[in-house]
């Protein structure tokens, strides 16, 4: 076939608006009579010469020295759009049986979205909403009442498909006038297409014959030849029969619909999202056709995906009859620019054209696009292989491993494409690359989820449903965190299977283990550690291959996928529960109230507290942690630890990652920060033992020591080097003996530094919460008041004679104040009123010594400490509780609580020998050490640290040092409250160690505040001086004086100066106004000498070239015509200056 001539002015067929004139016009080879492609019906036959390929080109990347070049075939296909007058009858069938109760709110939300979408469609849509359980009925909705009707519906009863199919048949008969006695109804055509959408979570459960009802509906649909009828199905939970629903969407209608599947573990919004996808498909998708894309074999061009000159593919047209196709191709470089014969075979039609390739320059973005195209091709090939499996062709273990390997390799290649590099590209390639990369990652995520499902379970109907679901690659987008969670599942799959095998081999003979032990100790242990629900003690649970733990109430934001320490621990319970018992309780609760109200999902907030079961005190429990208790008990736990920790953190037992171990220590630190009774103490001590065993099991000791070293040696304000949660560090401190960490915390000075660093970090983090929106002048005001305090006008107490008296008085003021509850809202000015925050005015600072205590009041420090005590995270109250508990517990662990104990005393062996029950003397010792008769202020916390770790010097405690540390911690925490500011301070070296040298820290804070005040003061002086210059220049009648007041172009005040001359009626107020403006515009001063000669002088070295915006403003002030004349005069003055300064020889 010869290439057609170029046709720049050829009229376009069938009303096409545009065509790329750089590509050849499309030649069409068609028989004279052929079936028209129509998006609404396939039964109409019309002779036509329509244009199928309205746009086509082949684009290659011009890579030098390549034998084969990669390229892209781009096609835009057009078929006749549906008739504009055709309507859509949408019948949505919703199962409202009792089993739908736990997701009914999602269904209601999705249906409200459906109504909103339907009412805003450009074409007419008739919506019929059918609910069914034992019976079926149509919802009699109107625009005004549909919301109320939807919210009033409740899920209850059985499931009867027979009633549903009968009612749908009645609706179709009524609408298409079937079964009437009128002859005119035989040919009635309402010009309407039909979409049926069925949502159910189960199978038929009544005695009515649903098969007969379905057959009757199927026969009725076959009689409706004037409409396209499509059925889409949605299965929820594995109780929904995939084979039935897949068969319904295939055979009930004139063309197949789509199938979707979801279950509670997919997340709280999965059902809602997938229902909305079906509705979007109904409103936006047209016909789907099988096609073949072909090149001539002799043109040396192939499709990457097929490796040949032919590519079969399914084309999906939208409701406007358009379909865009982008496929990857390769061609030999020696024939790259030769025209290509291209043919599209669509059903029984054939369209041909000649395309001339074009070359794109070799750029970095072109290389990225080429690589992404190849990855996309490899992914499609892999998907084809995965999709070939079914119940008869189950993948082998080798298949699964190979698929996982290939998917991970592809994902690594995609992740190697740096996002920072992508954003350096221009808009068009950036958008292309971003779309290609995200689409590939989303498809990999779906395939990984599918293959991981094969690893978890055998092939079931649920597996088939998942397979059908994934065939629509573009329908459901995984978020980035979901993608990372799927990766963790894949990485853990082999380990999980190995540990499951190990667990099966565990066989503990509990009677043999407990033979000959102290019966009183065993009885005390079994009495305390028994399951509240099953009433079985831990020994009985071991016999049943079960284990004991305790309940928790937690919330999980989505960020726990990336940072597990973001998990929120509402409270812990002293209710002990068996693992299998709680799992059963969760299953029942999910069935009753749903996943979100049982586990909490990934929702946070005070009103989002979920409960799978209630504890001994009616406290909510939605999570669980195991306890060590005894080696026999631990055998059933250690091989399940990965699943337990992963589920606790992410609600997915296979999404384990190493950093999730920190959540265990976060829990431990949180537990000791709360009020503790005797039963809580028994639980905490046993949980410390459990955390120690978990650390050994995962060999986590070195990781802990690295984080402690970082805390002790790196600046607190080097945020990236610090632990993400303070309670995690506190949890670390309780599982080691002194000998195990003597190289880190070998003396009292190290411990003082550690506790002061922890509280300083808490002050900084809390300051960000309190003062995140404050401007720098307000922050400087707070720091200034903390540095110098409030100067008293007179001596308020005649007893305060010496500096020591004042120090004692101020120490009492800031440490033992009257503690008050602080209620502040971050979206109000409550914090401003409470702290009396005001801007620091730029005035010379007379307070030049922050070490003076005489005649000073530091009420702001007391207020800030009270704020930290009540609203900090962690609060000072919690930090002090942790300090007291850790100090007393470490005395027990290291045998210091009783002088007569032997040197080889091992506290952990002792508690193991008592089956997890702590000795009574331990409980009494900790309780006596946790008494608190003073205010939980920041000053008392620091004083307690020094008292604990320098007890001999406690009586002579230097209160001035405590006060300096208090001031420096708050000042530096407030100043460096933002992470990036804190990191920058460390990099610049302006951060100071408050523990080692608080006075140096205060000096640095003073310097920074004074420097900023000096800069502001200088700016104010410059602004005042400049204002005086402008004023004198405006009023002056001496043009020489005025020329001296003109600022240089580029000075800060120059824009303000120009604005003064852009005002109206200046000639009335300013003498010689026009001459002054000419001087500004031309930068030239013209003087007339005594002899009448005119002499030109340059006013400033830098000339100001007036811009368009300034020109318009001058024109508005002076009048356009007049200002044009003034501009001409200014140009003339510059000409005179240039002529005067020119070399005479240059004039000729």
Task: Tell the CATH superfamily of the 87-260 domain.
Answer: von Willebrand factor, type A domain (3.40.50.410)
Give the CA distances from residue 893 to residues 123, 349, 745, 800, in Å, rounded to whole numbers and listed in that order.
77, 85, 15, 46
Residues paired with 331 in a beta bridge: 69, 301
Give me the helix-helix angle, 427-456 and 461-470, nearest 10°.
Answer: 170
Helix, strand, coil shares of the chain, percent, nearest 5, are 50, 15, 35
Q: Which of 514-523, 625-634, 851-860, 972-981 has the lowest mean pLDDT?
A: 851-860
Q: For residue 1050, what is the DSSP state?
A: T
| Residue 57 contacts residue 358 (beta carbons within 8 Å) | yes
Please choose, from the candidates 595, 672, 61, 714, the residue with its C-alpha nearest in 3D space to the C-alpha of residue 371: 61
| Residue 578 contacts residue 551 (beta carbons within 8 Å) | no
Give the CA distances from residue 1107 to residues 1058, 1081, 1101, 1112, in Å, rounded to whole numbers and listed in that order.
12, 11, 19, 9
Dihedrals phi, psi of 631, to nearest 5 degrees:
-60, -35
pTM, two decimals, is 0.58
Please choose, from the candidates 1122, 1022, 1129, 1028, the residue with its C-alpha nearest in 3D space to the C-alpha of residue 1066: 1122
pLDDT of residue 657: 83
From CA 748, how far away is CA 879, in angstroms rounded? 18
Domain range 13-81+289-362, CATH architecture: Sandwich (2.60)
pLDDT of residue 6: 35
| Residue 259 contacts residue 232 (beta carbons within 8 Å) | yes
From CA 786, how far away is CA 88, in angstroms rounded? 71
Q: Residue 1146: is its pLDDT beyond 70?
A: no
**Kind plus residue range of the DSSP H or E element containing 234:** strand 229-236
From CA 77, how far away is CA 54, in angstroms rounded? 6
pLDDT of residue 266: 65
- 727: tokens are 């309670």
From CA 947, how far away is CA 961, in angstroms rounded? 14
| Residue 230 contacts residue 257 (beta carbons within 8 Å) | yes
| Residue 443 contacts residue 409 (beta carbons within 8 Å) | no
Phi-psi region of 1083 (alpha: psi -120 to 50; beta: other; left: phi over 0): left
Q: For residue 828, what is the DSSP state?
A: T
pLDDT of residue 935: 82
Residue recorded with tokens 């318009």: 1112
**What angle (nearest 5°) sits at the alpha carbon of residue 765, between those of residues 759 and 770?**
115
- 732: tokens are 């670390």
| Residue 634 contacts residue 912 (beta carbons within 8 Å) | no
Q: Which of 107-116, 161-170, 473-482, 994-1003 has the lowest mean pLDDT?
A: 473-482
Q: For residue 697, what is the DSSP state?
A: H
| Residue 328 contacts residue 303 (beta carbons within 8 Å) | yes
**What angle (nearest 5°) sits at the alpha carbon of residue 851, between those of residues 848 and 853?**
110
Per-residue exposure over 657-686, b if at least 16 CB sit within 10 Å of its own CB, e if not: beebbbbbbbbbbbbbbeebeeebbbbbbb
pLDDT in tens, 278-299: 877 787 777 777 888 999 888 8
Helix runs in 715-747, H state only: 726-732
Residues paired with 524 in a beta bridge: none
DSSP 15-74: G-----TTSPPPP----SS-BPP-SS-S--B------SEEEEEEEEE--TT-SEEEEEEE
Residue recorded with tokens 């800060």: 1052
Q: Coil, strand, or helix at residue 324?
A: strand
Cis peptide before 366, with omega less than 30 degrees from 0? no
- 1033: tokens are 């220049």
pLDDT of residue 470: 54
Contacts of 981 (CB under 8 A, 6+ apart): 975
Biggest CA-to-CA distance, the chain:
131
From CA 629, how far away is CA 538, in angstroms rounded? 8
From CA 1148, how far away is CA 1140, in angstroms rounded? 15
Q: Residue 488: is its pLDDT beyond 60?
A: no
For residues 403, 404, 410, 415, the Cα torsion angle rounded to the nearest 10 degrees is 160
pLDDT in tens, 21-68: 233 333 222 222 333 332 222 222 223 334 567 667 887 877 766 778
From CA 310, how far away is CA 295, in angstroms rounded? 7
From CA 719, how far away is CA 1107, in angstroms rounded? 47
Q: How many CB atoms lie within 10 A of CB 828?
A: 9
Contacts of 270 (CB under 8 A, 6+ apart): 262, 263
From CA 501, how far away is CA 729, in angstroms rounded? 34
Q: Which residue has the higher pLDDT, 34 or 764?
A: 764
Q: For residue 530, what is the DSSP state?
A: B
| Residue 532 contacts residue 616 (beta carbons within 8 Å) | yes
pLDDT band at 918 (very low <50, low <70, confident <90, very high): very high
| Residue 349 contacts residue 77 (beta carbons within 8 Å) | no
Residue recorded with tokens 């307070």: 847
Helix runs in 734-773, H state only: 748-771
pLDDT in tens, 1052-1110: 777 877 887 888 887 777 888 888 888 888 888 888 777 777 788 888 877 778 888 88
Contacts of 357 (CB under 8 A, 6+ apart): 58, 59, 60, 71, 331, 336, 337, 338, 339, 340
Is residue 997 classed exposed, middle or buried when 0-12, 13-18 and 19+ CB atoms within 10 A define those classes?
Answer: middle
Give the CA distances from residue 1068 to residues 511, 1058, 1075, in Å, rounded to whole numbers and listed in that order.
111, 18, 14
Is residue 149 classed exposed, middle or buried when 0-12, 13-18 and 19+ CB atoms within 10 A define those classes?
Answer: middle
pLDDT of residue 95: 92
**What angle (nearest 5°) sits at the alpha carbon of residue 484, between those of residues 482 and 488?**
115
pLDDT band at 952 (very low <50, low <70, confident <90, very high): low
- 231: tokens are 């059925």
pLDDT band at 698 (very low <50, low <70, confident <90, very high): very high
Q: Which residue has the higher pLDDT, 585 or 31?
A: 585
Is residue 823 classed exposed, middle or buried when 0-12, 13-18 and 19+ CB atoms within 10 A define those classes?
Answer: exposed
pLDDT of residue 796: 53
Q: Which residue has the higher pLDDT, 699 or 347?
A: 699
Percent of the chain with pLDDT over 90: 19
For the chain, the residue count is 1148
Q: Which residue has the higher pLDDT, 1139 or 927?
A: 927
pLDDT band at 599 (very low <50, low <70, confident <90, very high): confident
Q: For residue 310, what is the DSSP state?
A: E
Q: What is the mean pLDDT of the chain?
A: 80
Half-sphere exposure at residue 807, Cβ-oriented, CA atoms within 13 angstroms = 13
């Amino acid at each position: 076939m010869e290439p057609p001539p170029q046709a720049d002015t050829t009229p376009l067929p069938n009303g096409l608006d545009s065509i790329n004139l750089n590509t050849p016009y499309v030649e069409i080879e068609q028989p004279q009579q052929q079936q028209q492609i129509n998006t609404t019906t396939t039964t109409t036959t019309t002779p036509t010469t329509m244009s199928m390929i309205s746009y086509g080109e082949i684009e290659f990347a011009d890579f030098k020295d390549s034998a084969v070049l990669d390229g892209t075939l781009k096609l835009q296909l057009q078929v006749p759009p549906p008739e504009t007058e055709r309507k859509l009858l949408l019948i949505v069938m919703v199962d409202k049986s009792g089993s739908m109760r736990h997701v009914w709110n999602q269904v209601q939300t999705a249906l409200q979205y459906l109504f909103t979408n339907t009412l805003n469609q450009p074409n007419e849509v008739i919506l019929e909403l059918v609910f069914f359980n034992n019976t079926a009925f149509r919802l009699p909705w109107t625009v005004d009442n549909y919301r109320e009707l939807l919210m009033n519906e409740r899920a209850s009863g059985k499931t009867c498909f027979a009633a549903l199919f009968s009612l749908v048949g009645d609706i179709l008969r009524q609408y298409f006038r079937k079964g009437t006695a009128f002859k005119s109804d035989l040919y009635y055509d309402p010009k309407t297409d039909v979409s049926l959408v069925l949502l159910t979570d189960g199978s038929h459960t009544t005695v009515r014959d649903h098969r007969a009802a379905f057959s009757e509906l199927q026969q009725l649909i076959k009689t409706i030849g004037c409409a396209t009828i499509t059925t889409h199905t949605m299965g929820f939970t594995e109780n929904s029969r995939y084979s039935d629903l897949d068969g319904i969407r295939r055979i009930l209608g004139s063309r197949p619909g789509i199938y979707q599947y979801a279950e509670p573990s997919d997340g709280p919004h999965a059902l809602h999202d997938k229902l909305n996808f079906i509705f979007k498909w109904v409103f936006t998708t047209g016909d789907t056709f099988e096609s073949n894309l072909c090149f001539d074999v002799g043109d040396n061009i192939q499709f990457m995906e097929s490796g040949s000159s032919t590519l079969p593919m399914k084309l999906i047209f939208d409701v406007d009859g358009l379909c865009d196709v982008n496929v990857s191709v390769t061609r030999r470089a020696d024939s790259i620019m030769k025209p290509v014969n291209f043919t599209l075979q669509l059903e029984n039609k054939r369209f041909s054209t000649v395309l001339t390739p074009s070359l794109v320059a070799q750029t970095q973005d072109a290389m990225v696009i080429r690589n992404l195209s190849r990855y996309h091709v490899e992914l499609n090939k892999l998907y084809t292989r995965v999709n070939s499996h079914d119940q008869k062709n189950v993948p082998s273990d080798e298949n699964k491993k190979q698929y996982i390997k290939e998917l991970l390799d592809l994902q690594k290649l995609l992740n190697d494409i740096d996002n920072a590099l992508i954003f350096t590209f221009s808009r068009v390639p950036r958008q292309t690359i971003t779309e290609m990369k995200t689409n590939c990652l989303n498809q990999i995520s779906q395939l990984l989820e599918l293959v991981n499902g094969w690893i978890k379970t055998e092939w079931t109907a649920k597996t088939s449903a998942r397979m059908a679901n994934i065939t629509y690659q573009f329908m459901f987008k995984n978020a980035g965190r979901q993608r990372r969670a799927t990766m963790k599942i894949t990485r853990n799959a082999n380990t999980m299977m190995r540990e499951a095998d190990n667990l099966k081999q565990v066989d503990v003979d509990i009677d043999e283990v407990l033979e000959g032990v102290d019966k009183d100790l065993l009885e005390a242990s079994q009495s305390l550690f028994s399951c509240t629900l099953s009433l079985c003690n831990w020994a009985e649970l071991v016999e049943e291959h079960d284990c004991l733990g305790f309940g928790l109430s937690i919330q999980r934001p989505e960020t726990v996928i990336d940072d597990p320490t973001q998990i929120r621990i509402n409270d812990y319970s002293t209710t002990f529960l068996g693992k299998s018992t709680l799992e059963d309780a969760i299953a029942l609760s999910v069935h009753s109230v749903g996943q979100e109200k049982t586990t909490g999902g990934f929702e946070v907030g005070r009103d989002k507290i979920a409960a799978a079961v209630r504890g001994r005190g009616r406290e909510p429990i939605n999570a669980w942690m195991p306890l060590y208790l005894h080696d026999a008990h631990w055998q059933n736990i250690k091989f399940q630890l990965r699943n337990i920790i992963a589920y606790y953190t992410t609600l997915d037992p296979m999404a384990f990652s190493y950093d999730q171990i920190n959540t265990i220590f976060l829990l431990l630190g949180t537990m000791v920060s709360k009020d503790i009774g005797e039963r809580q103490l028994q639980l905490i001590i046993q949980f410390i033992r459990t955390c120690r065993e978990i650390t050994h099991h995962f060999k986590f000791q070195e990781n802990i020591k690295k984080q402690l070293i970082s805390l002790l040696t790196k600046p607190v304000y080097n945020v990236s080097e610090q632990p993400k949660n303070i309670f995690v560090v506190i949890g670390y401190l309780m599982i080691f003996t002194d000998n195990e960490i003597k190289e880190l915390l070998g003396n009292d000075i190290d411990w003082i530094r550690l506790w002061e660093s922890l509280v300083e970090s808490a002050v900084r983090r809390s300051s960000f919460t309190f003062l995140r929106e404050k401007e720098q002048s307000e922050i400087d005001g707070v720091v200034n008041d903390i540095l110098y305090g409030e100067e008293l006008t007179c001596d308020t107490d005649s007893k305060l004679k010496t500096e020591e008296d004042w120090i004692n008085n101020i120490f009492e003021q800031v440490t033992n104040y009257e503690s008050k509850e602080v209620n502040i809202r971050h979206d109000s000015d409550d914090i401003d009123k409470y702290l009396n925050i005001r801007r620091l005015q730029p005035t010379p600072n007379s307070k030049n010594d922050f070490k003076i205590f005489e005649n000073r009041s530091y009420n702001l420090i007391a207020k800030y400490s009270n704020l930290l005590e009540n609203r900090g995270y962690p609060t000072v109250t919690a930090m002090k509780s942790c300090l007291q508990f850790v100090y007393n517990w470490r005395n027990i662990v290291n045998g210091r609580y009783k002088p007569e104990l032997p040197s080889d005393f091992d506290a952990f062996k002792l508690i193991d020998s008592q089956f997890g029950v702590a000795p009574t003397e331990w409980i009494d010792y900790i309780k006596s050490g946790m008494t608190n008769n003073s205010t939980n202020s920041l000053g008392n916390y620091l004083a307690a640290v020094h008292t604990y770790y320098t007890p001999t010097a406690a009586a002579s405690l230097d209160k001035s040092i405590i006060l300096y540390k208090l001031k420096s911690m708050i000042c530096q925490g407030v100043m460096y409250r933002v992470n990036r500011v804190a990191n920058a301070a460390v990099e610049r070296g302006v951060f100071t160690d408050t523990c080692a040298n608080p006075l140096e820290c205060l000096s640095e804070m003073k310097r920074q505040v004074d420097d900023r005040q000096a800069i502001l003061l200088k700016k104010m002086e410059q602004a005042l001086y400049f204002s005086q210059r402008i004023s004198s220049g405006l009023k002056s009648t001496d043009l020489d004086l005025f020329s001296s007041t003109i600022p240089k172009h580029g000075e800060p005040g120059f824009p303000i100066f120009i604005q003064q001359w852009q005002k109206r009626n200046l000639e009335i107020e300013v003498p010689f106004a026009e001459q002054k403006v000419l001087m500004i515009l031309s930068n030239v001063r013209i003087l007339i000498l005594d002899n009448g000669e005119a002499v030109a002088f340059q006013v400033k070295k830098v000339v100001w070239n007036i811009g368009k915006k300034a020109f318009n403003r001058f024109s508005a002030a002076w009048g356009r015509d007049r200002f044009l004349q003034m501009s001409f005069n200014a140009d003339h003055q510059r000409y005179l200056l240039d002529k005067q300064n020119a070399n005479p020889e240059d004039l000729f």
